[in-house]
Amino acid sequence: MASSSLAPLSLPTALACLFASLLLAAVAMGSFGLSSHGNVGLLAAAFAVGACSAGAVPALLAVALTRSTPMALAGLLLSMLFRTGAPLALGLIADARFPDLAAAGVFGMTVACYLWILAVETVLSVRMIAPGADLGRAR
């Protein structure tokens, strides 16, 4: 079995990849929202992408700040809280408080965007942690 020789990603590179994927999600969600619900659908798509970015950026920061420390596993767990909590909370709030956005499917768009960003950010988080890093194993 060949060993991987890929160097760990830096935070700026990971953030650039994340923002590129958020832009791709914004275009896809925006075109869907605009074609199915007009301007309100476009607003719902923008909210969904914003909610997902509100969780994804702090999640990557948590991984980056703890990746070479004994707290790397805790950083990964904290990133899961940010990554999941922000989109879920914001999506539920928008769905309950803004009937026009709810009618345009803001929660469904948030979930779709979340799944896309989850896949992208999981790959980026794994690539940011160096091979053989100490993930808080007991000594």
- pLDDT mean over 71-88: 91
pLDDT digits (tens, 9 = 90+) for 10-39: 999 999 999 999 999 999 999 999 999 999
Per the structure, the count of domains in the chain is 1
Establish if 23 belongs to a structural domain: yes
Whether the per-residue pLDDT at 54 is higher than 90: the answer is: yes
At residue 88's C-alpha, the angle toward residues 87 and 93, to 5°, is 100
How much of the chain, in percent, has pLDDT values that exceed 90?
Answer: 73
Helices (H), the chain: 11-66, 72-97, 99-103, 106-128
Establish if 139 belongs to a structural domain: no
pLDDT, averaged across the chain: 89
Whether the per-residue pLDDT at 133 is higher than 80: the answer is: no
Full-model pTM: 0.84
b/e for 2-37, b at 16 or more Cβ within 10 A?
A: eeeeeebbeeeebbebbeebbeebbebbbebbbeeb
Domain that holds residue 75: 11-128
Query: How many other C-beta atoms lie within 10 A of the C-beta of residue 48?
Result: 31
Establish if 6 belongs to a structural domain: no
Task: Dig out the tokens for 62 from the structure.
Answer: 């948590």
